[in-house]
Copies of this chain bind each other. A is one copy, B any other.
Amino acid sequence: MIEIKNLTVDLGTFSLQDINLKIEPGEYFIVLGPTGSGKTILLESIAGLYPIKSGEIWLNGTEVTKVEPEKRGIGFVYQDYALFPHLSVKGNILFGLKQMKRPKGELQSTVDWIAGLLGVSHLLERKPETLSGGERQKVALARALSISPQVLLLDEPLSALDPQAREDVQHELREIHRRLETTIIHVTHDFEEAIALGDRIAVLGEGHILQIGTPEQIFRQPSSEFVARFAMARNIFSGEVHDAEEGDSILSIGDLELAVVTELRGKLHASLRPEDILISKEAVISSARNSLRGTITRIDNRGSTLYLTVSTPLDFVCLVTRRSFEELGLKAGEEVYITFKASAIHVF
């Protein structure tokens, strides 16, 4: 288990302040934040590679704040791999093992086991410069895992890879986590990556932790506009919530009134995910649902899926699969109905 208490790190132009995290043993923990939000520095602070201004870091019940990095047993994987260019793949994996002064036979068997685990056995004699991006990242993982770390820190492990290698390494990460049950802290700026891998996600912005929760919570119930934008909610509104008949709530955005489910009242924000909106050619009426008529004003083609902007006149962005899009025969300028549950709107 790893615990970070009131961590403050000075980054020159700004600082990470009052970071508090408690990560359970075996958890896959994601730190999600935009480029330049200090994610790498946060990981380096945990590993003891960056001087922290104040705060404490606890590892399995022991304070390690002042312990040197070589005595923490933390595996680190940098974004662009940071493989030792003067050593072969085998030399890279052996680096940490040699430091531990294990008997020679054991070294060999550990290298074989790790290389097998990550599928890099056939690369052992190659130099890092001859490897592809995906291969390098796997070697970097193998090297970090060679010392059987208590925690594995991953600094944007997928962002330097092209789409196919990215899926491959992502799968590898999930497998490693499942098989070795290592605690992993993975930082990224990619929301899809966070949701695909994380047990829990912490959103980092402007030097603070803005929200911690399961992917589902971050996705459905962002606590601020920043998080909602980052989670690509796309439909984010400001309006006023007041009582309706029968104890329900109504969100007024200009002239528009939407049924929502919330205890909150007053001037508030609301987010609605594009995939929660149903598009149809005919109206769908139901007490639990909001249904609006509008015109398709923009089509954003993503291949398998499409984002449609429907002006009601308030703009709603909706997600449809290509199959639905074609089956409905939708076109720009066409009139459609959009329908979404009152409970799909998250008020905050």
A residues bordering B, Cβ < 8 Å?
A: 34-35, 162-164, 189-192, 195-196, 215, 219, 229, 231-232, 273-276, 278, 300-305, 319-323
- On whether A219 and B164 interact (CB within 8 A), knowing A278-B323, A323-B276, the answer reads no
Q: List 21 A-B contacts (CB under 8 A).
A: A34-B162, A35-B162, A163-B189, A163-B191, A192-B302, A195-B301, A195-B303, A196-B300, A196-B301, A196-B303, A231-B303, A232-B304, A275-B304, A275-B305, A275-B323, A276-B323, A304-B319, A305-B305, A305-B319, A305-B321, A319-B321
* Contact among B163, B191, B304 with A273 in the assembled complex (CB-CB below 8 Å): B304
Would you call B229 and A164 a contact (CB within 8 A)? yes
Nearest-neighbour CB distance to chain B for A139, whole angstroms, equals: 19
**Which chain B residue lies CB-closest to A319?**
B304
Q: What is the minimal beta-carbon distance from A129 to any residue of chain B, in angstroms?
A: 14
For residue A266, give the distance in angstroms from its CB to the closest CB of chain B.
29
Q: Is the CB of B215 within 8 A of A301?
A: yes
Of B196, B215, B300, B322, which is within 8 A of A275 by CB? Answer: B322
> Smallest CB-CB separation from A323: which chain B residue?
B275
Taking CB atoms, residues of chain B closer than 8 Å to A162 are 34-35, 189
Across-interface contacts of A189 in B (CB, < 8 A):
162-163
Q: Tell me if B215 and A190 are in contact (CB < 8 A).
A: no
Whether B319 lies near A275 (C-beta < 8 A) is no
Are B321 and A191 neighbours in the complex by a CB distance under 8 Å?
no
- Return chain B residues, CB-CB under 8 Å to A35: 162
A162 CB to nearest chain B CB (Å): 5
**What's the Cα separation between A229 and B168 when bound, in Å?**
14
Q: How distant is the Cα of A164 from the Cα of B34 in the complex, in angstroms?
A: 10
Bound complex: CA of A276 vs CA of B305, how far in Å? 11
Contact B164 A195 (CB under 8 A): no
Highest count of chain B CB atoms <10 Å: which of A162, A231, A320, A321: A321
Contacts of A322 in B (CB 8 A): 273, 275-276
- Per the bound structure, the CA–CA distance linking A192 and B300 in Å amounts to 10
Q: Closest chain B residue to A189 by CB distance? A: B162
Residues on B with C-beta less than 8 A from A219 are 303
The 3 lowest CB-CB distance pairs between A and B, nearest first, are A275-B304, A275-B321, A195-B303
CB proximity of A30 to chain B, nearest CB, Å: 12
- The answer to whether A302 touches B34, judged by C-beta atoms less than 8 angstroms apart, is no
